Amino acid sequence: MSRDQDRVQRFHSGGPWETEVGYSRAIRVGDRVLVSGTTAARGDEPIPDDAGEQARVALETIRRTLENAGAEMTDVIRSRVFVVDLPTNGDAVLAAYGAALRGARPTISTLGVAALVDPRLKVEIEVEAIVGAGTVFEG
Protein backbone atom coordinates (compact mmCIF):
# COMPACT_ATOMS: atom_id res chain seq x y z
CA MET A 1 0.00 0.00 0.00
CA SER A 2 1.37 3.43 -0.88
CA ARG A 3 1.90 6.14 1.68
CA ASP A 4 -1.05 8.17 0.26
CA GLN A 5 -3.39 5.20 0.63
CA ASP A 6 -2.45 5.03 4.30
CA ARG A 7 -3.44 8.64 4.95
CA VAL A 8 -6.39 9.18 2.58
CA GLN A 9 -9.78 8.00 3.83
CA ARG A 10 -12.86 8.00 1.61
CA PHE A 11 -16.36 8.17 3.08
CA HIS A 12 -19.52 7.07 1.30
CA SER A 13 -23.17 7.47 2.24
CA GLY A 14 -24.40 4.62 0.03
CA GLY A 15 -26.23 6.96 -2.33
CA PRO A 16 -26.62 5.67 -5.88
CA TRP A 17 -24.95 8.69 -7.51
CA GLU A 18 -21.72 8.03 -5.63
CA THR A 19 -21.39 4.65 -7.36
CA GLU A 20 -22.82 5.67 -10.73
CA VAL A 21 -20.78 8.85 -11.07
CA GLY A 22 -17.76 7.63 -9.11
CA TYR A 23 -17.18 10.06 -6.25
CA SER A 24 -16.86 10.08 -2.48
CA ARG A 25 -19.22 11.89 -0.11
CA ALA A 26 -16.08 13.07 1.70
CA ILE A 27 -12.34 12.53 1.75
CA ARG A 28 -10.14 12.98 4.79
CA VAL A 29 -6.43 13.65 4.33
CA GLY A 30 -4.72 14.05 7.67
CA ASP A 31 -6.82 16.57 9.62
CA ARG A 32 -8.48 18.01 6.50
CA VAL A 33 -11.97 16.85 5.47
CA LEU A 34 -13.37 17.75 2.05
CA VAL A 35 -17.12 17.21 1.63
CA SER A 36 -18.56 16.94 -1.88
CA GLY A 37 -21.36 19.18 -3.03
CA THR A 38 -24.40 18.11 -1.02
CA THR A 39 -28.07 18.56 -1.86
CA ALA A 40 -31.42 17.57 -0.38
CA ALA A 41 -31.52 14.43 -2.58
CA ARG A 42 -31.59 11.39 -0.27
CA GLY A 43 -32.33 8.28 -2.27
CA ASP A 44 -36.06 7.62 -2.41
CA GLU A 45 -36.99 10.36 0.08
CA PRO A 46 -38.95 13.28 -1.40
CA ILE A 47 -37.01 16.46 -2.14
CA PRO A 48 -38.56 19.42 -0.30
CA ASP A 49 -39.80 22.23 -2.56
CA ASP A 50 -38.65 25.02 -0.24
CA ALA A 51 -35.06 26.19 -0.80
CA GLY A 52 -34.48 26.83 2.91
CA GLU A 53 -35.64 23.32 3.78
CA GLN A 54 -33.41 21.90 1.04
CA ALA A 55 -30.47 23.75 2.60
CA ARG A 56 -31.34 22.38 6.07
CA VAL A 57 -31.47 18.81 4.71
CA ALA A 58 -28.15 19.26 2.88
CA LEU A 59 -26.51 20.72 5.99
CA GLU A 60 -27.77 17.82 8.10
CA THR A 61 -26.16 15.41 5.63
CA ILE A 62 -22.96 17.45 5.82
CA ARG A 63 -23.05 17.35 9.63
CA ARG A 64 -23.40 13.55 9.68
CA THR A 65 -20.66 13.19 7.06
CA LEU A 66 -18.25 15.35 9.04
CA GLU A 67 -18.97 13.37 12.20
CA ASN A 68 -18.29 10.10 10.33
CA ALA A 69 -14.94 11.57 9.30
CA GLY A 70 -14.11 12.70 12.85
CA ALA A 71 -14.95 16.39 12.43
CA GLU A 72 -17.71 18.74 13.57
CA MET A 73 -19.60 21.63 12.00
CA THR A 74 -17.49 24.01 14.10
CA ASP A 75 -14.42 22.67 12.26
CA VAL A 76 -15.68 23.97 8.88
CA ILE A 77 -13.26 26.56 7.48
CA ARG A 78 -14.56 27.05 3.92
CA SER A 79 -17.89 26.68 2.19
CA ARG A 80 -19.38 27.11 -1.25
CA VAL A 81 -23.12 27.53 -1.68
CA PHE A 82 -24.69 27.15 -5.11
CA VAL A 83 -28.23 28.52 -5.39
CA VAL A 84 -30.66 28.30 -8.31
CA ASP A 85 -32.50 31.65 -8.67
CA LEU A 86 -30.39 33.40 -6.04
CA PRO A 87 -32.60 36.52 -5.80
CA THR A 88 -35.63 34.35 -4.91
CA ASN A 89 -33.99 31.57 -2.86
CA GLY A 90 -30.89 33.20 -1.40
CA ASP A 91 -32.34 34.58 1.84
CA ALA A 92 -33.93 31.26 2.87
CA VAL A 93 -30.78 29.31 2.00
CA LEU A 94 -28.49 31.69 3.88
CA ALA A 95 -30.79 31.66 6.92
CA ALA A 96 -30.49 27.87 7.10
CA TYR A 97 -26.73 28.13 6.46
CA GLY A 98 -26.33 30.67 9.27
CA ALA A 99 -28.28 28.51 11.72
CA ALA A 100 -25.92 25.59 11.01
CA LEU A 101 -22.56 27.33 10.56
CA ARG A 102 -22.72 30.72 12.27
CA GLY A 103 -20.63 29.38 15.16
CA ALA A 104 -17.87 28.16 12.83
CA ARG A 105 -17.63 31.42 10.85
CA PRO A 106 -16.02 29.77 7.78
CA THR A 107 -15.20 31.58 4.58
CA ILE A 108 -18.08 31.42 2.11
CA SER A 109 -18.72 31.84 -1.58
CA THR A 110 -22.38 32.09 -2.57
CA LEU A 111 -23.04 31.64 -6.26
CA GLY A 112 -26.20 31.90 -8.32
CA VAL A 113 -26.37 29.05 -10.83
CA ALA A 114 -28.70 28.22 -13.71
CA ALA A 115 -29.42 24.64 -12.64
CA LEU A 116 -28.27 21.68 -10.57
CA VAL A 117 -28.14 17.97 -11.48
CA ASP A 118 -31.89 17.48 -10.79
CA PRO A 119 -34.36 20.22 -11.78
CA ARG A 120 -36.10 19.93 -8.37
CA LEU A 121 -32.92 20.96 -6.56
CA LYS A 122 -32.41 24.59 -5.61
CA VAL A 123 -29.25 24.45 -3.48
CA GLU A 124 -25.96 22.55 -3.26
CA ILE A 125 -23.40 23.10 -0.50
CA GLU A 126 -19.82 21.89 -0.20
CA VAL A 127 -17.50 22.41 2.74
CA GLU A 128 -13.94 21.91 3.87
CA ALA A 129 -13.04 21.34 7.51
CA ILE A 130 -9.92 20.95 9.59
CA VAL A 131 -10.42 18.63 12.56
CA GLY A 132 -9.99 20.61 15.75
CA ALA A 133 -10.31 24.03 14.08
CA GLY A 134 -13.47 24.82 16.04
CA THR A 135 -12.12 27.69 18.18
CA VAL A 136 -13.00 31.03 16.58
CA PHE A 137 -10.64 33.95 17.20
CA GLU A 138 -11.85 37.43 16.37
CA GLY A 139 -9.38 39.54 14.50
Mode of pairing for the β-strands spanning 123-130 and 107-113 = unpaired
Q: For the whole model, what pTM was predicted?
A: 0.89
Cα separation, 139 vs 135, in Å, equals 13
- Please give the average per-residue pLDDT across 24-51, as a whole number: 93
Top pLDDT among 16 and 4 is at 16
Which pLDDT does position 86 carry in this prediction? 98
Cα separation, 43 vs 17, in Å, equals 9
Q: Which domains does the chain have, with CATH numbers?
A: 37-129 (3.30.1330.40)
Top pLDDT among 69 and 13 is at 69
Residue 131 above 60 pLDDT?
A: yes
Q: Virtual CA dihedral for 88, 92, 93, 95, nearest 10 degrees? A: 140
Cα separation, 122 vs 139, in Å, equals 34
What's the mean pLDDT when you consider all of the chain? 91
Which pLDDT does position 139 carry in this prediction? 59
Helices (H), the chain: 3-7, 16-17, 51-68, 86-101
